[in-house]
Chain A
Amino acid sequence: MDNSATLEAEVISERRTARSRRLRRALRPWLTPKVIGGGIIVLLLVIGGLSAPWIAPYDPNAQNLSQALRPPDWLFGANVFGTDALGRDILSRLFYGARISLVIAVMVVIISGVVGIALGAISGYFAGTTDFLIQKLVEVVWAFPPLLLAIAIMAFLGQGLENLILALVSQRWITYCRVSRGQALSLRSREFVDAARSLGARHTRIIVRHIMPNLLPSALVIGTFSMASAIISEAALSFLGLGVPPEIPTWGSMLADGRTYISTSWWLALFPGLCIFFTVLGINLLGDGLRDILDPRLKRSGSGIG
């Protein structure tokens, strides 16, 4: 009796370890140092942004002019990272700023990536007139200095998160489109595309199943860089007063405000600057690591490309 009970317990625990072993095996290819490092930074950022209302010590817009430009108190004090020129708590503003930066970066990259890859794949795959028209559109947009176009769009549509995203997407899809088009042009004459055609595949199927998956690795790399630059562009537009409305704290506007005080109160610009720096670093690491994993040819280091 006793014996069978321990046996049963053993079987159960064995099953459990088997399950965890399977889980570990499934996760192992994903756990490269780059993915872990980048992932931790991005995860902290997401947690910080999402839980801002609960973990931020102060209201990000609460002004206290008597406490203005207070230097950092570090771990034991009222204002861990100090206060800005209006006496607002910098740490609280950083938490709230993470939300805006994240939403903008993610939305801009996803929208411009989808638009750019789709148009690039269509352009390169069909070539000829389709390609000519799409590439002319690209060249027209390309002709505008990127910030100028964004300023024009913001001035025309007014401040606001959606408009800001639209303004940033308006030039960013082009990079994806150009790179994707070049690759699609070379992919369309590859024999596996011919093979799909001779099987009777329609154009949509060839583009979606054969062209686009082969465009993803480079798009992912562009995506990480463009995510970083979207955060910086948002900062630039906020600096010019064309970003999100001023009552919403963003790292970019904090950096811009702090610039004035850089010689006397370094903490105003340093902390948002560090936030941008680590966010960009984390996203780049994660993107690089993901590219290594998602490209099946590079999956096993040492096996080489053959």
Chain B
Amino acid sequence: MALLEIRDLKKYFPAPAGLLGRAKEHVKAIDGVSLDVEDGETVGLVGESGCGKTTLGRCIVRLIEPGGGTVTFEGRELSSLPEPAMRDMRRKMQIIFQDPYASLNPRMRVGEIIGEGLRIHGLAKGRDLKARVLELLARVGLRGEYFGKYPHEFSGGQRQRIGIARALAVNARFIVADEAVSALDVSIQAQILNMMLDLQQDLGLTYLFISHDLRVVEHVSDRVAVMYLGKIVEVAPAGKLYSVSQHPYTQALLSAVPVPDPSRKGTRTVLQGDVPSPINPPPGCSFHPRCPFALKLCAEEEPRLEFDGQHGVACHVFGPGGTKYL
């Protein structure tokens, strides 16, 4: 059994009401997502802005209450857990945020920030707590003398290290990294990513790595899931996705990654039109209005995620579920 099993997870937000009364419309931020994360692996989650990546990450750790479906962690279903029981589970699953400037309380010292989880769960007190925080600081490559400093005295990369130390403090097994390096310089990104990989090796962590940056995801992930309009359209082992991706959306996404080679004129698939509104997603395959290969069927029937081994594609035309229509 996987460490984390997501089944048919849904989250609809009420859309802003119109002028007259209540509009009964919803933004379908996540619309039936299923995903497994095995113990010790890193699953990358990519997709463009607004596709529901962040909402999915937050639903998993229940910062946002899911609207439907189940999240099972270590065999326990989370969304039905009452808050006191959930509080215990929160120790095991932590989240690292995108904005290292907003994610640290400006009026708390580093030692208090990192030690807060220990205090909440009664894991350490007084001298033990300080010793543990100093150990965590060392783990994330920060000097112990930073203990009494305030967040504003640090650079973005250092702040992100503090955020990681805070997540590690409660001995989390599973960490949602929500665009954890997107706000950082490229050189700092590499440092933080490598540190996260080292920590994974040392502590046996499991990551759900959310990013819009395909190169970053490729670097860290074992498997990658591609999201489009609240749904997962393709899942594959990282190496395979980058070589033999099947879904037209994934291919368009991959062709947009800049290649550091001026002589290579890439064949860039440029998608036509905008992302449809998640309030009224198109019927059938939500990608069909922009898909260069769309069939009549694509506008009528929603494709399911069909698997060939570890490689899953939700498409009527390509992949394991699509061939029969060609």
Contact = CB atoms under 8 A, between A and B. Distances in A.
B31 to A, nearest CB: 23
A197 interface: yes
Nearest to B63: A194
Given A200-B120, A201-B120, A297-B106, A195 B90 contact: no
A197 B98 CA distance: 16
B107 A196 contact: no
Nearest to B58: A194
Interface string B101-124: 011111110000000110011000
A191 B102 contact: yes
B102 A199 contact: no
B121 A200 contact: yes
A210 interface: yes
11 contacts: A190-B102, A191-B103, A192-B105, A195-B103, A198-B93, A199-B120, A200-B170, A205-B120, A216-B107, A296-B107, A297-B152
Contacts of A305: 152
A214 B105 contact: yes
Given A194-B97, A195-B97, A296-B150, A200 B107 contact: no
A201 B106 contact: no
A38 to B, nearest CB: 23
Nearest to A193: B105
Candidate in B97, B105, B117, B121 with the most chain A CB atoms within 10 angstroms = B105
3 nearest A-B pairs in the assembled complex, by CB-CB distance: A191-B103, A200-B87, A200-B90
Q: Is the interface of A mostly helix, strand, loop or mixed?
A: helix
Contacts of B4: none
Contact of A198 (B63, B105, B121): B63
Interface residues of A, number: 21
Given A192-B102, A214-B106, A297-B106, A199 B170 contact: yes
B28 interface: no
Given A192-B102, A297-B106, A200 B166 contact: no
B171 to A, nearest CB: 12
A88 to B, nearest CB: 49
B91 interface: yes
A145 interface: no
Contacts of A209: 105, 108, 116
Contacts of B88: 200
A195 B163 contact: yes
Given A197-B63, A199-B90, A296-B106, A191 B116 contact: no
Contact of B61 (A192, A198, A216, A296): A198
Interface string A182-218: 0000000011101111111100010001100110100
Contacts of A213: 105, 107-108
A77 interface: no
A296 B63 contact: no
Contacts of A128: none
A198 B94 contact: yes
A200 B122 CA distance: 11
Interface string A276-306: 0000000000000000000011000000011
Nearest to B89: A200
Nearest to B91: A200
B166 A199 contact: yes
A58 B52 CA distance: 78
Nearest to A205: B120
Contacts of B152: 296-297, 305-306
Contact of B103 (A192, A197, A205): A192
B136 to A, nearest CB: 14
A219 B87 CA distance: 32
B85 to A, nearest CB: 11
Interface in B191-234: none
A296 B91 CA distance: 30
Given A210-B105, A306-B152, A198 B95 contact: yes
Among the interface residues A199, A209, A213, A216, which one has the most CB atoms of the partner chain B within 10 A?
A199
